[in-house]
Structure 1
Amino acid sequence: MWVEKNKSGNYRFIERYKDPLTGKSKRVIVTYPTKNKFTTKKAQMELEAKIQERLRHIQDGNIKKGVTLHQVINEWEPIYKARVKGTTWQTYIVAKKHIKKYIGYNVQVSKITPKFLIHAYETMLYRDGYNNPTVKMVAFKMTSILRFAYRRDYIATQPPKELDINWKKSKHNDLDKKFLETQELERVLDYVYQKNEQQGAIFEWQYLTGMRIGEVLGLKVGDIFKDNGKYYAHVNGTLVYTGLKTSQYYKQSTPKTDDSFRDVFLPEKAVELYHRWSEGKDSNRFLFFIDDHFFAFTNLNCRLRQARKILDIDKPLTTHIFRHTHVSKLAELGVPLYIIQNRVGHADSETTRNIYLHVTQAAKSKWDDTIFSL
């Protein structure tokens, strides 16, 4: 490193390095207003960091050593954010906190092994009690980051598609807890309606249509239409928000998956809700908003946690349980699985399929008892 004084009186600290692609020497420079022991040491550290940063981005086929997971994440995030939907990004923000805690930002990405990841994920599962879906979500995001690291020559091999994780085994009654029985549904809706009519209507609409909560909140009055005497909801987006003000939420034009674009037939009770909540609103207003005032998604699940405690219901009450309850009711009515999948906008959902098979098997067992008594 050497120092030059420029015309303005500042000091340019300069270091030279060799570009492995061209074999030629290149320079990096930092400037400080003074030259002393402190600035000299600081400049030396900055110059070294600049050189390492440049060398790390030269794709010469060699694995770049010393690159931390945090550095990879900082490079990967802008690319990932630009190509995913807002809701997917928010899911990643949750996963990122777990990645920082259980894997660590300062770990060198080239040192991350399958065994290391398995240990981290099983720690989440068995020491800290996270469920399979949460850990799978974290593992999925982590795999995306490691694939990026492989493309940038930060790791030598592609991350494995699957890890030999000792997943929690599903208990026999786990599926029963994913949906509400008729009496439970009535109790929950009655409780919520008494506390907040708007929230009660939103949950009932979810149960009647099987729509995701973001799809329900993103419904505009003009999305409901009538065709041959029947009413339909045209699902064409989901609500995204960053705050409670009108300017801080918007309808994202692309739903979760391509299957999410659909027209959902509305039963009579849903039509009644539509007429109740569309009254006095023009076609571009959100159906379930009051004076265009929004509330945080978390308020809905907070209300359901209250209901769970007050009503002593031993099931995880979240907005998604109404969607699962819709699936279970249609299965009870004998509606074919493919019709249900099209209706809820999930052509390939393991949960939807499992609930359907669980409910239909229970119905079959009930009729077996009847037939046995002949």
Structure 2
Amino acid sequence: MKTTKMSVQQLPNGTFRKQVTYGKKANGKPLRKSIVGDTELEVIIAAEEFKRLHVDVTPTKITVKEAVKAYIDSKRSVIAPTTLYGYEVAAKNRLQAIYGFNITDIKTIDVQRAINIDAEHGLGYKSIKSGYDLVRSAALLFDVELPSIRKLKLPPKTAKEELPDLNKVLKVIIGSSVELPCLLSVWCGGMRISEVRGLQFGDIYEDDNGRYIKVRRTRVCINGHDTIQNRNKTELSTRDVPIPDYIYNLIQHIPHNSDTDFIVNENYGALKRRYDRLLKKHGLKMTFHDLRAQFATTMNGLGVEKEVLEKLGGWANSKVLDAVYIRTPKQRVRDSLKVFDEYMYGVIRDTRTEKSDGAA
């Protein structure tokens, strides 16, 4: 048995082997893995990959569970916390019937059976699809392509419920304890709740075109704890949104000590509960995230150009070229927003008048 300078042994049958130490057992003894291959270079590369991913990189020896874990670990420091959390939930709860299979042994019928089991347990289209997308991506990490989702039968998509009339929603929100976060979402670029909660007083600035608020970070609640991410969900989500005087004045009434204080400094759960209770009290059914959809729907209905809408909301359509490379002047955005501002101020004036008359 011959040993090379790289501690790779050539076995009597002509193959090569390298021992890899990658940790310790509970009793303190080292954890070792024997990597075997046809050439010395193949073994060295496989050993390095094993140390990096903690799985044998030979596809025929990797289970779906191991592949998914390796995939998640490889993305851990470069994806948003919410995305990472979603991956971990999917890895624990989706398509578990195939997680014991080696990735090279997966057949379409195996995946379909796993889908059927999950569907019987009440999982819907979106949950199952996201679970399989994760499995396929993990397999591709090891150059294994699993059956296309088009070859599989998933539960039907849930029909989206029609959103309540925005006029009715605004009449409930204006003057309430959730007015500011809701208006930041439905009026300022359709901000996500994580973006609203991530806004700081120092994000507001003014230039020759007017006053803006920068969307530069997110504050998400995962397992009851806030995680601040100094980046947004996507590159296009990083944007500067014109801020109406009405919202600016609401913000100015909030006491703060520094520019790094959060404008909406409230626990996610408490904010969501108050929002849900308020709408339920008035017979309205709409999630906080639906405010983003209300922004897009109303802007589109008022005739605002799609190019401007995409820029304001940080959306990318199927035409990546337009979404990524087209530049829209700030003044053009402000001119387009005047239509929406007039609409919002009209509703606010009417609502304030109605509430004042009712209190008299």
Give SS of 2:211's match: strand
Alignment partner, residue 322 of structure 1 = 291
TM-score, normalised via structure 1 length: 0.64
Alignment partner, residue 316 of structure 2 = 347
Give the AA of the match of 1:115: I
Alignment partner, residue 184 of structure 2 = 205
Change (3 A) 1:275 1:21: farther
Query: How big is each residue's C-alpha offset from its partner over 1:12-39, in whole Å with a ceiling of 9 and x where there is no partner?
Result: xxxxx9769973566799xxxxxxxxxx
Give the AA of the match of 2:210: K
Is 1:136 aligned with 2:129?
yes
Query: How big is each residue's C-alpha offset from its partner over 1:103-151, in whole Å with a ceiling of 9 and x where there is no partner?
Result: 3543333332233223433554x53444433333222222211112x33
Alignment partner, residue 38 of structure 1 = none
Change (3 A) 1:143 1:207: same
Question: Aligned runs of 1:269-348 on 2, under 5 Å?
Answer: 269-277=246-254, 279-289=255-265, 294-295=266-267, 297-307=268-278, 309-313=280-284, 315=285, 317-348=286-317
Is contact 1:240–1:249 with CA below 8 Å preserved after alignment? yes
Give the AA of the match of 1:263: D
2:112 to 108, 114, 118: 118
Change (3 A) 1:28 1:158: closer
Report the CA distance between 1:257 and its aligned residue.
1.2
Change (3 A) 1:65 1:182: closer
Alignment partner, residue 106 of structure 1 = 100
Q: Distance in 2 between matches of 1:276 and 1:22?
A: 78
Q: Distance in 1 between matches of 2:311 and 2:12?
A: 55
| Percent of matched pairs sharing the same residue | 20
Is contact 1:205–1:273 with CA below 8 Å preserved after alignment? no
Give the AA of the match of 1:237: R
Alignment partner, residue 345 of structure 2 = none
Pairs aligned (count): 290
Give SS of 1:233's match: strand
Alignment partner, residue 231 of structure 1 = 211
Give SS of 1:232's match: strand
Question: Aligned runs of 1:162-177 on 2, under 5 Å?
Answer: 162-167=149-154, 174-177=159-162
Q: CA RMSD in A?
A: 3.9
Alignment partner, residue 6 of structure 2 = none
Question: Aligned runs of 1:251-266 on 2, under 5 Å?
Answer: 251-266=228-243
Alignment partner, residue 357 of structure 1 = none
Give SS of 1:83's match: coil
Is contact 1:219–1:286 with CA below 8 Å preserved after alignment? yes
Change (3 A) 1:81 1:322: same
Alignment partner, residue 199 of structure 2 = 219
Is 1:185 aligned with 2:178?
no
Give the AA of the match of 1:159: L
Alignment partner, residue 348 of structure 2 = none
TM-score, normalised via structure 2 length: 0.66
1:159 to 137, 142, 146: 146
Change (3 A) 1:104 1:89: same
Alignment partner, residue 23 of structure 1 = 15
Change (3 A) 1:280 1:138: same
Give the AA of the match of 2:87: Y
Is contact 1:114–1:163 with CA below 8 Å preserved after alignment? no
Change (3 A) 1:229 1:119: same
Q: Distance in 1 between matches of 2:14 and 2:171?
A: 73
Change (3 A) 1:145 1:233: same
Give SS of 1:211's match: coil
Q: Distance in 2 between matches of 1:106 and 1:250?
A: 33
Change (3 A) 1:207 1:20: farther
Q: Distance in 1 between matches of 2:168 and 2:120?
A: 32
Is contact 1:95–1:138 with CA below 8 Å preserved after alignment? yes
Change (3 A) 1:134 1:71: closer
Report the CA distance between 1:335 and its aligned residue.
0.9
Question: Aligned runs of 1:87-106 on 2, under 5 Å?
Answer: 87-99=82-94, 102-106=96-100
Unaligned runs of 5+ in 2: 1-8, 22-26, 48-56, 320-360
Query: How big is each residue's C-alpha offset from its partner over 1:34-66, in whole Å with a ceiling of 9 and x where there is no partner?
Result: xxxxxxxx9xxx99x955x63499459x95545
Is contact 2:197–2:262 with CA below 8 Å preserved after alignment? yes
